[in-house]
Structure 1
Amino acid sequence: MKSFIIAWKDFKIRVKDRKGFVTMIVMPLILTAILGAALSDVMGGDGGFSDTTVGLYQADQDPISEAFRREVLLELEFVKVKMVKNDTELEELLRDGKIDVGLSIPEGWSSDLNNGGLKEILIYSQADKQIKATVIQSIVESFSERVKTISLSTTAVINDLTKSTVVTTGSVNLKEVVDVIVADLNQAGQIQFGIEEESIGKKMVSSMQYYAAAMAVMFLLFNATMGAKSIIQERSTETLARLMMSPTSNGSILIGKFLGTLLFAFVQLIIFFCATSLFYDVNWGGNILQVLAIGIAYSVAVSGLSMILASLVSEEKTTDVISGVGIQIFAILGGSMLPIYVFPDALQTFANITPNKWALTSFLTIMSGTSWDKLFLPMSVLLLIGLLSLTIGTWRLKAR
């Protein structure tokens, strides 16, 4: 009972700090609006891959470059092709934002194809269009590899045929055989280019949904340093020592501190959830209980980290550094700044050490539609982080 009294006291102190309380609510809302709107063109307004305008410069009417334009670029539903006269015009259109990606096909692109090579295509892009540029680059590379494979295979097969007995004796018409082989190789080498979008659940997640979840988990993480700072302040002013000299047990006091941070973090999430749903029309998924379950588990993890942080740090300045630098590193690793799927595989694996990554991916999974069994692992990890941190933190704080 005394733990709840202490928790409620700490909660009221934080709520009365209007500047801090408003900052923890208003700032994530502002950042959600900015990032969600800024990246909607890349991620797609409704969660899909948006249309891409490709500026194309062909130095000549090379047959392979013509085939690439007609059979690939013009056949892609999400690509709009804008022909230009030279590289300079291509760069100007890209700089003015009139095209997303620029392609410059050199003169005689296939002139060295007999030796198994194609000249290099120049790809122009802006920093904010890297995902689109990467997609177009992969299409160019796939087409080039297909063309080179067919050319080398055809050459190898024809060379073998010309040396075979059936051809040298005139039993088989070489031209007819070559025509059949080339047709078969072309058929086998056909590639259907395009983007097939598939959500991890039943629905796609939009950029606004992504950054609503990303900002929520990032700003909730600040409660770890706020909770630790509160304990350090009370310890430096001897308030915590006097409290521990009272009839209340040390364990009850520290559990109360933990619950106070947990309550504030969870209330912050609820307010943010309601605000984004109301003002930004963010759909957090069809099952509100799943959102609340992950929210509670994440709040436990954050509150546990505040306890272990308070047990390791003795000065408020140190917590300020951790809040300014450490939280930002965790936010980047956890996918709050950039979508985590653009990270290298090794970095995505390393990000599993951050609790905000588990919370973010869980919220996104809920938004796209999922079942409870898919949430068991992240909930377990978050609760384990929180309870383990709480155990270690309270043990160290008691010892001090």
Structure 2
Amino acid sequence: MIRAIFKIMGLRLWRDKGALVLAFVLPGFIFAIFAAIFANASGGDLDLRASMAVTSQAPATQLLASDLQKSNDFTLTFNDDWTLSDIRERVRLGQDDVGLVLAGDIADPSAPAIVIVSEPSRDIAATVLKGQIRQRLADQSGQSMPAIFTDISALDSDDDLSVADQSVTYYIGATAVLFLLFSAMQGAGLSLDERKTGITQRLLLGPIGTLSMLTGKFLFLSLIGFIQAAIICGVAAVFFDVPVTDHLPGLAVACLGAAALSSGLALLVASLCGSAAQMHTVSTFLVLLFSAVGGSMVPRFMMPDWLQNLGQFTPNSYVIDAVYGILARGQSMADLLPVWYVLFGGALVALILAAGISHMMRRA
């Protein structure tokens, strides 16, 4: 009996070429992603995005500013007219991972000359930047430099989150979208069982019938996802002191957008898969890939530059930006319009594509 079951399962996998290929490609591919991330981080070679303002005319400070602009250790954005407030705003909105202001004479060790602007979810970026600056100064002077840094936060001191841990806030969106993607993929996979029973064929009388059926599934999956995301926000409020109740309208839109996009993508994946085994493998592959590259597992600033760019095309990055933008950065719903366009527009496009593909596959 054991031998027979083993043979049946082996033949089933062998006959499903899509599931077979993905079953053996997935482990190595996911490993390569994580290896690239952690090798990059542990080696101290983070591809940081930094912004700089120079408000001091001291010769030694000007020399350091010129040297930093030529550096290949990080991507530096500089403008002659920028001040401390400009740098804080860029870091607060996530345009840069860390900022610095050269505000004094670095040749005078009696007073801090460099202001480092960071934000709690990316504290390690400030640590790495200070280490790189210290190394450059030591190379120039031939001796270790004293503590010349002043650290300030990009967030206002009277911010709602000043009593909470902003890293917890980051992982509200990161965890929610990871969970919603897995949940929606599992729910959408039920349509594959319907194909075997003939229920789908009896319900689908044309393109409108296909769209109507998938819309019903989409609304159901979105509702379940919204409730799941709301539960995560509730846990953050009760156990981690995150001021969720102060931002309910924006968070509600973010949770709904995350649920809608996850549901639309899940239905699209289900429409492209030919079997339950294939759906399971493909959905696991996509969710792990999106989560690894999009910032759900590791913040994107810790990744190599090419992975950071790739992560911009994942749903995870937009959900994280929405939730963190509302709770930590103080962004309004109007400020996040580009994010809403992606979440809700992407959900609608995915639903329409799923309906079209499903209709064509039933007619084939």
- Give SS of 2:136's match: helix
Q: For the structure 1 residues 338 and 250, does the alpha-carbon distance in structure 2 shift closer, same or farther, using more than 3 Å as the test?
A: closer
1:258 aligns with 2:214: no
Superposition deviation, residue 326 in structure 1: 2.1
CA contact (8 A) 1:215 1:336 kept: yes
Match for residue 199 of structure 1?
155
Measure how far apart 1:218 and its partner are: 1.0
What is aligned with 2:312?
Answer: 352
Give 3-state SS (helix, strand or coil) of 1:371's partner.
coil
How is 1:1-400 mapped onto 2 (pairs within 5 angstroms)?
71=109, 134-135=128-129, 137-147=131-141, 192-199=148-155, 202=159, 206-244=166-204, 249-284=209-244, 286-368=246-328, 369-399=330-360, 400=362
8 Å contact kept, 1:221–1:356: no
2:264 and 2:258 map into 1 onto residues whose CA distance is 10
Please, what is the CA RMSD of the aligned residues? 3.7
Identity of aligned pairs, percent?
26
Shift of 1:293: 0.8
Structure 1 residue runs without a partner (length 5+): 1-67, 79-128, 152-188
TM-score (norm 1): 0.53
CA contact (8 A) 1:72 1:193 kept: no
CA change 1:359–1:264 in 2 (3 A) is same
Equivalents in 1 of 2:236, 2:147: separation in Å? 42
8 Å Cα contact 2:226-2:256 kept in structure 1 = yes
Q: State the shift of 1:345 in Å.
A: 3.6
Maintained 8 Å contact 1:285/1:366: no
Give the letter for the 1:235 counterpart: R
SS in 1 for 2:336: helix
Helix, strand or coil for the counterpart of 1:331?
A: helix
**TM-score for the superposition, normalised by structure 2:** 0.58
> Residues 335 and 199 from structure 1, CA distance in 2 versus in 1: closer, same or farther, beyond 3 angstroms?
farther
Computing the radius of gyration from Cα coordinates, the structure with the larger value is 1
C-alpha distance 300-77 of structure 1, shift in aligned 2 (>3 A) = closer
- Asked if the contact 1:287–1:366 (Cα under 8 Å) also holds between the matched residues in 2, the reply is yes
Relative to structure 1, the CA distance from residue 323 to residue 311 in structure 2 (aligned partners, 3 Å threshold; closer, same or farther) is closer
What does the per-residue CA deviation read over 1:317-363, in whole Å, with 9 as the maximum and x for residues that have no partner? Answer: 12221333321111111111112222234322221111111011110
3-state SS of paired residue (2:335): helix
Query: 2:174, 2:320 within 8 Å by CA — same for their partners in 1?
Result: yes
Q: What is the number of equivalent residue pairs in this alignment? A: 242
Does the 8 Å contact 1:341/1:348 carry over to 2? Answer: yes
- 2:101 corresponds to which residue? none
Residue number in structure 1 paired with 2:102? none
Q: Secondary structure of 1:373's partner?
A: coil
Q: CA deviation at 1:77?
A: 12
Structure 1 residues 77, 356: closer, same or farther in 2, change over 3 A? closer
Q: Summarize deviations over 1:129-165 as a string: whole Å, max 9, x none.
A: 97686245224213224426xx9xxxxxxxxxxxxxx
State the distance in 2 between where 1:200 and 1:381 align: 28
The secondary structure found in structure 2 opposite 1:195 is: strand
- CA deviations over 1:349-383 (Å, ceiling 9, x no partner): 22111111101111011111112221101000111
> CA separation of 1:131/1:380 partners in 2, compared to 1, >3 Å: closer, same or farther?
closer
Contact 1:209/1:283 (<8 A) preserved: no
Alpha-carbon distance in structure 1 between the residues aligned to 2:334 and 2:127:
37
1:249 is paired with a residue whose SS is helix
Return the offset for 1:274.
1.6
- 1:374 partner amino acid: D
SS at match of 2:297: coil
Amino acid at match of 1:357: S
Of 310-319 and 274-283, deviating more is: 274-283
Q: Is the 8 A contact 1:212 1:282 kept in 2?
A: no
State the Cα distance separating 1:215 from its structure 2 match.
0.8
SS in 2 for 1:392: helix
C-alpha distance in structure 1 between counterparts of 2:333 and 2:222, whole Å? 23
Change (3 A) 1:72 1:225: farther
Contact 2:301 2:308 in 1 (8 A): yes
Alpha-carbon distance in structure 2 between the residues aligned to 1:73 and 1:339:
34
- CA offsets per residue over residues 87-120 of structure 1, 9 Å max, x none? xxxxxxxxxxxxxxxxxxxxxxxxxxxxxxxxxx
Pairwise CA distance, 1:193:
2.3
